[in-house]
Amino acid sequence: MKKHKLETYLEVYDSISELPDTIQNLINKAQQARDNAYAPYSRFKVGAALELANGTIVTGNNQENAAFPSGLCAERVAVFYAGANYPGERILHLALTVKSGHKVINTPTPPCGACRQSLAEYEVGQGQPIALYFMGETGKVVKSGSIRDLLPLIFDSSFLEKL
Ligand code: THU
């Protein structure tokens, strides 16, 4: 038996102002998208903005449903829109921010597991990392250089039996 240690390195920024202008702009777009989220049930609004290699910024927000599992997270709304409308276009960065109707969230809030898996599909497919910047409503911003840093032991198409 051998033990393997998995390590992840994340960058933590004290505030948005420490980041390059392009990333600040992307976070700004995610904040605007967040405020338009449809989250009447959880009152937890999430906004995502991703920048494509052709310069396009695609945004998404969470869309809830009275039949709860029928809703979708902000990250998947954004990444599926990008996949549907800009197929094959490389995703460079993704910014993520949240806002609760119950309290101010200043803890950086990472994507849920299902969204990490969905994002991994595109990162693996493009062969280049997607840098992710996530935050709460205010406060620190965390950067992970790759979805792999948030999803070790990634499951991808290489595990599927080839037809
Ligand atoms: N949510 C997202 O949009 N992204 C995540 O990564 C985590 C959760 C949404 C789903 C639901 O509308 C609300 O946040 C509460 O879970």
Structural domain boundaries in the chain: 11-150
Active site residue 121: no
Contacts of 97 (CB under 8 A, 6+ apart): 27, 30, 31, 34, 46, 47, 109, 134, 135, 136, 137
**pLDDT tens-digit map of 114-141:** 999 999 999 999 999 999 999 999 999 9
Active-site residue, selected from the candidate residues 75, 89, 121, 161 = 75
Residue whose Cα lies nearest atom 1 of ligand 1: it is 73
Token output for 133: 């910047």
Give Cα 103 to chain centroid, integer Å: 22
- Stretch 37-66: mean pLDDT, rounded? 98
Q: How confident is the model at residue 161 (pLDDT cuts 50, 70, 90)?
A: confident
Residue 81 tokens, joined = 């829109």
pLDDT tens, residue by residue, 101-116? 999 999 999 999 999 9
In the block, residue with structure tokens 């829109």: 81
Pocket test for ligand 1, best of 43, 44, 94 (most atoms within 8 A of CB): 44
The Cα 58–Cα 86 span in angstroms is 10
Query: Hey, is 146 helix, strand or coil?
Result: coil
Distance, C-alpha 109 to centroid of its chain: 10
Which has the closest alpha carbon to 116: 62, 64, 152? Answer: 152
Lookup: tokens for 90: 């490389």
pLDDT, mean of residues 40-44: 98
Taking the model in full, what pTM does it have?
Answer: 0.96
Topology annotation, domain 11-150? Cytidine Deaminase; domain 2 (3.40.140)
